[in-house]
Amino acid sequence: MRRSVLARVLLHNLEAVAVALILGALVGLIYSLIQPPSYSATARVMVIAQRGGGTFDELATSYLTQRRVENYRTLLTSVSLLDRAITSHGLPASSKELADNLTVGSPKDTSLIEITVSAPSPALAADFASAIAQEFSAASAQLEGKAPIHSKLVAYADLPTRPDKPRTTLNIINAALVGAVTAMALAVYGARTNPRLSYLPEISTIGGVAILGQMSIDKQMFSAGQRSAARQTAAVKINTDRLAERLLATGWVDQDVEVVCRDRRLGDLVADMLKRSLTDRAPVLATGRTVSTSKAAGVAGANMRVGVMAAATRWQDAKTFVEELQQHGERHALVIVYQR
């Protein structure tokens, strides 16, 4: 799909995209309102090793400390340690609930362990994190025994001042973007599978029927119906004159012409415009030849039938219209109308 056509597709569906954007934002807001709040608190434990006096001992101690930090992650998330924290501190939670809401991290190139726990209230979050950190320090001391490496609780968890979730602003933005992108994707998909005629600028025939030409009509004048026919003809005289010349070139001069359009008002308007443009070019109009309108494409009429379709017509609908148009008459042509 060309960029110009893609831009036209998005422009034509701008209202739908805007509606999807607003609906997405509302969904994000509603989700944030019904989502229970969640608070996070962090306690910190330092892994400490006794150091010797040599350079080699310094490097070895640093390496061992880093290795211990990695190994302690497993201990911190173990069911036995979490059960011990629950029993010792009377925490109102199960080991599974603690494990699901527990995050263990360590800043790069440090021996610091950060124990973060999420809970429905600030007090619970702080109590959970501090209890796990205390029991971890005690458990690691028992495991290490007389080893030169041990852990020390350096910071209890502080009470969080605001919830981590819901992130209302972020939820609204993300949901709005999802809605808008989805609407644009559907618009592009629809334009590729069943495009409007306006998205096919190089089209010359539909179902074997040649497109006589295109014309533009001002929306406000079109809304006024037949009362604006004279004004319309004057406004787009060049286009209608060109269509009249092409119509004469098809051998129309000895036949009546029937303008066929599902929208009777649009059909009447185009027929009146063509009749005005043909008057000076085809004197035969004064001897009984006519330019008439018929609402349904399948209704029998003149041998020369000109089908009128709006540029917003979908491709499948256009093919159906052309099939109905060809059911009667010997010659057929199409006119595509753009409303600007």
pLDDT single digits (tens) 125-151: 999 999 999 998 888 888 766 666 777
Query: Is a pLDDT exceeding 70 seen at residue 66?
Result: no
What is the CATH topology of the domain spanning 39-50+57-155?
Alpha-Beta Plaits (3.30.70)
How large is the angle between the packed helices 14-34 and 168-193, nearest 10 degrees? 150
Q: How far apart are CA 285 and CA 252, in angstroms?
A: 11
Give the separation between CA 239 and CA 259, rounded to whole angstroms: 16
pTM: 0.62
Tokens (6 digits) for 144: 């290490």
Q: What is the DSSP letter of 92?
A: S
State the Cα–Cα distance between residues 212 and 89, nearest whole angstrom. Answer: 87
Q: Quick check: 209 and 308 in contact, CB under 8 A?
A: no
Domain 197-339: which CATH number of 3.30.70, 3.40.50, 1.10.3470, 3.30.720: 3.40.50
pLDDT band for position 197 (cuts 50, 70, 90): confident
Q: What is the pLDDT of residues 96-130, one digit of tens each?
A: 999 999 988 888 777 788 899 999 999 999 999 99
* d(C-alpha 266, C-alpha 62), whole Å: 85
Q: Cα–Cα distance between 125 and 283 in angstroms, integer?
A: 93
Q: Where are the domains of the chain?
A: 3-34+166-193, 39-50+57-155, 197-339
Q: How many angstroms separate the CA atoms of 302 and 258, rounded?
A: 6
Helix (H) or strand (E) segment spanning residue 206: strand 205-206
pLDDT at 25: 95
DSSP code for 205: E
pLDDT at res. 56: 39
